[in-house]
């Protein structure tokens, strides 16, 4: 379970990700990276469902709790936000070697 206290340690605890719930229908599940946007409204996160370190990137709206439709497959799991709160950088894996070979951006 991943939680946060936004702004101050006295703030209410906010549930970000419940990995037990996310993994309940999966044979394998790993939550990789989590990157919170600079304005604290979005969380990009990566999951591996095949145990090959082939991560899928998704984005969660932290104000509503909804997972956005944007999905990026076959990544290394490395993600970071640009300061504009809209652009996400990630590394793609080569299909054969499974090594990172390209840095991409998603807007």
- Mean pLDDT, rounded, of the chain: 95
The model's pLDDT over 32-48, given as tens digits with 9 standing for 90+, comes to 999 999 999 999 999 99
Q: Is the pLDDT of residue 98 over 90?
A: no
> What is the rounded distance in angstroms from the CA atom of residue 20 to the CA atom of residue 13?
18
Per-residue CA distances from 15 to 24, 59, 94 (Å): 17, 15, 34
Q: Do residues 28 and 49 touch, judged by C-beta distance below 8 A?
A: yes
pLDDT value at 6 more than 90? no
Q: Identify the bridge partners of residue 14 per DSSP, sorted by sequence position.
A: 4
Check: CB of residue 88 under 8 Å from CB of residue 82: yes
Q: Residue 96 in contact with residue 104, Cβ under 8 Å?
A: no
How far CA 30 is from CA of 7, 9, 10, 105, in Å, comes to: 28, 28, 30, 23
Question: Model confidence over 46-89: pLDDT tens digits?
Answer: 999 999 889 999 999 999 999 999 999 999 999 999 999 999 99
pLDDT value of residue 1: 94
């Amino acid at each position: 379970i991943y939680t946060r206290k936004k702004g101050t340690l006295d703030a209410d605890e906010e549930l970000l990700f419940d990995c037990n719930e996310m993994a309940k229908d999966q044979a394998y599940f790993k939550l990789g990276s989590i990157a919170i946007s600079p304005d604290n409204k979005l969380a990009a996160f990566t999951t591996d469902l095949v145990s090959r370190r082939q991560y899928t990137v998704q984005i969660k709206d932290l104000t509503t709790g909804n997972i956005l439709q944007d999905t990026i497959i076959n990544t290394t799991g490395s993600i970071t936000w640009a300061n504009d709160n809209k652009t996400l950088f990630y590394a793609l894996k080569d299909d054969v070697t499974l090594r990172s070979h390209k840095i991409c951006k998603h807007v």
